[in-house]
Amino acid sequence: MSLKKKIILGLAVILIGIQFFQPLRNQSDEVPATHIEKVYSVPQNVNAILAQSCYDCHSNNTSYPWYSRIQPGAWYLAEHIKKGKEELNFSEFGEYSARKQRSKLRAMSGQIKDGEMPLSSYTLIHRNAILSEEDKQILMKWFGAMEDSIK
């Protein structure tokens, strides 16, 4: 067997082998009492936008696509979700102090206004997560109102 064939065979074995090492999944059947939907009155239109464009990376319940079980992509996805939840977790929003909640609402509004969120790497594959101008206005208006209402 030639060196080229051995290298290809070795890579194939490695790619098949790593498929057996799957990261933990970010899924939960329950909505905790600390979820933003339970802590605050979230209008249906705002909730629909958040669920469509934000919750996969910023909550405790990700809706995984078919490719999420293929390595090494699954590891990348798991790390991306972990970092997203460290920055903002809607499932734990009620645990944040009032100051942190206001800060997060202000930051979300700014990131949406500047086109930083949702990430282009996410919307490249998840085209339905792209925010329209109307969606952006709805979210920024609600975030502003929420920020003003938190004492």
pLDDT of residue 87: 93
Residues of the chain with pLDDT under 50: none
Does 7 fall in a domain?
no
CB 90 within 8 A of CB 59: yes
Instruction: State the alpha helices, DSSP H only, in the chain.
Output: 3-17, 36-39, 44-53, 55-58, 73-87, 98-113, 120-123, 133-149
Instruction: Please give the Cα distance from 120 to 140 (Å, whole number).
Output: 19
Q: Identify residue 103 by its one-letter amino acid code.
A: S
Task: Name the 3-class secondary structure at 21.
Answer: coil
CA angle 91–92–98, rounded 5-degree value: 130
CB atoms within 10 A of CB 11: 10
The pLDDT value given to residue 66:
77
Question: Would residue 48 count as lying in a domain?
Answer: yes
Query: Is residue 106 in some structural domain?
Result: yes
Q: Which domain holds residue 120?
A: 24-149
Give me the number of domains the chain comprises. Answer: 1
Residue 130 DSSP one-character state: P
Q: What is the pLDDT of residues 70-101, one digit of tens each?
A: 788 778 888 888 999 999 999 999 999 999 99
Let me know if residue 3 belongs to a domain: no
In a domain? residue 76: yes
Torsion of CA 70, 71, 77, 80, to 10 degrees: 180
